[in-house]
Structure 1
Amino acid sequence: MTRNLMITLAAGGSAALLAGAYLFQALGYPPCAMCLWQRWPHFAAIAIGLLALKIPGRLLPLLGAGAAGTTGAIGVYHTGVERDWWEGPTSCTGNGGLEGLTGSDLLAIEGPRVVLCDQVSWEFLTLSMASWNAILSFDLMVGWLIAVALSAGWTAKGSFRTG
C-alpha cells in the first residue's frame, strides 16, 4: 500500500460520490440546499488529491482528510434534520412561513421544484442519501489519514521506516 494509492482511492471515492449525486439528480431527485453543501468538500478533495499526487508531504493528505470529514459532518447534520433530531436552517426546511407569497404563487405549478432539507427523497436500508454520504465520507477520511501516515513513513506492518 502506497501513499499515492491511498490518495487516488480517497479522491476517487469523492469523485464516485459526486457522480452518484449527479446520477440521482439526472434520474429526477433534485438536491436540496444541504445536499449541495455536501458536494463542495468532495470537489475540494478531488482537487487536493490531484495536487497531492504531485507534491510530497503530509499537508495535502491532511487537507483531504479535512475535506472528507467536513462533508461527512454536513451529512450527519443533514441526517439529523431529516430525522427531526434537531432543527435545520429555515431557508430549506418546512419550518419557514409563507409570508411574502401570494395566492397565485402558492397555486403555481410551473417553476423549479422546491426540495426541502428535512424531507427524505430516497433511502436504502433505511438510510438517506445524506446518511450514506456521511458514512462513506468518513471512510474516505480514514483513507486520507492512512495517506498522511504513509507520508510520515508508516509501513503496512504498523511500524515506521527509519533512515
Structure 2
Amino acid sequence: MTPMVQQRLAGLILVAAAVTALGCAWYVQHVMGIVPCELCLLARWPWRVVLVLGAAECVLPYRAGRWAAMLSLPVLAVSVAIAMAHVGVEQHWWPSPFPSCRAPEFHPGSFRERLASMPLRPSKPCDAATYLWGLPLSMAALSGLFALVVAGLAVLGLRQSRVGA
C-alpha cells in the first residue's frame, strides 16, 4: 500500500472515529433523553476538530495531510484530558471548573427575581455519571479511552506512512 493510500485510510479512520463519538453523544442526548452537563458539551469540541483534521488528511496532498494527522494528536490529548477531568469530577476527587455544574445558589430577593435568575434549560450536574448499557465505565471514561485508542491508531498510521515514504 502506498504512503498516500495509507494516509487517506488514516484520515478516514479519524473521520469515522469522530462521527462515532459525536453520533453516540447525539444518540444519548436526543434518543435516550439524557441531558448533557457542561463538561459533556465541552468534550464534544475536540471530536469536531478531529473530524475536520481527518477530512483534511483525506483530501490534502501528502505532506499537508501528514501535518493534519499530526495536529490531531494534541487534539486527541485534549479530549483525554477533558475526559480525565470529568471522571475526577464524577468521582468527587475535585469540583467541576464550571459554576453551572454545581447546585444553584439562591440569593435573597423576590420570587420573580429568583425565577429570572434560573437557567432556561436545566443542565445535569457534572458529578452525576452516566452509565450506558450496563457498562461499569461512565460515558466520560469511555470517551477518554476511545480518544486514547484513536490516538494510538493515528500514531501507528503516521509511523506506517513514514516507513513507506
Coarse TM-score class (shorter-chain normalised): 0.7 to 0.9
Task: Name the CA shift for 1:50/1:98 in 2 (closer, same or farther; >3 Å).
Answer: same
Structure with greater proportional helix content: 2
1:149/1:113 Cα in 2 relative to 1: closer, same or farther (>3 Å)? same
1:97 to 1:61, Cα distance in 2 relative to 1, 3 A: same
Distance 1:91 1:144, change over 3 A: same
Counterpart of 1:72 in structure 2 is: 80
TM-score by length of 1: 0.81
2:13 is the alignment partner of 1:4: no
1:119 to 128, 135, 140: 128
2-structure distance, mates of 1:40, 1:62: 18
Structure 1 residues 73, 110: closer, same or farther in 2, change over 3 A?
closer
Distance 2:29 2:12 in 1: 25
Alignment partner, residue 42 of structure 1: 47
Output the TM-score relative to the length of structure 2.
0.80
More off after superposition, 80-89 vs 113-122: 113-122
Gaps of 5+ in 1: 154-160
CA 1:7/1:102 → structure 2, altered by over 3 Å: closer, same or farther?
A: farther
In structure 1, what residue type is equivalent to 2:23?
A
* Contact 2:38–2:101 under 8 Å retained in 1: no
Aligned ranges for residues 7-18 of structure 1 at < 5 Å?
A: 7-18=11-22
Contact 2:10-2:157 within 8 A present in 1 as well: yes
* CA drift at 1:112: 1.6
The alignment of Structure 1 onto Structure 2 pairs a total of residues equal to: 153
Does residue 31 of structure 1 match 2:36? yes
Q: Counterparts of 2:137 and 2:51 in 1: how far apart (Å)?
A: 25
**C-alpha distance in structure 2 between counterparts of 1:100 and 1:80, whole Å:** 33
1:54–1:31 CA distance, 2 compared to 1 (3 A): same
After superposition, the Cα gap between the structure-2 partners of 1:98 and 1:110, relative to the gap in structure 1 and judged at 3 Å, is closer
Aligned counterpart in structure 1 of residue 57 of structure 2, from 43, 52, 55:
52
Q: d(CA) in 1 for partners of 2:83 and 2:99?
A: 17
Structure 2 letter corresponding to 1:127: L
Gaps of 5+ in 2: none
Of 88-97 and 14-23, more deviation after overlay is shown by: 88-97
Residue in structure 2 matched with residue 98 of structure 1 by the alignment: 106
Q: 1:68 to 1:110 in 2, by over 3 A?
A: closer
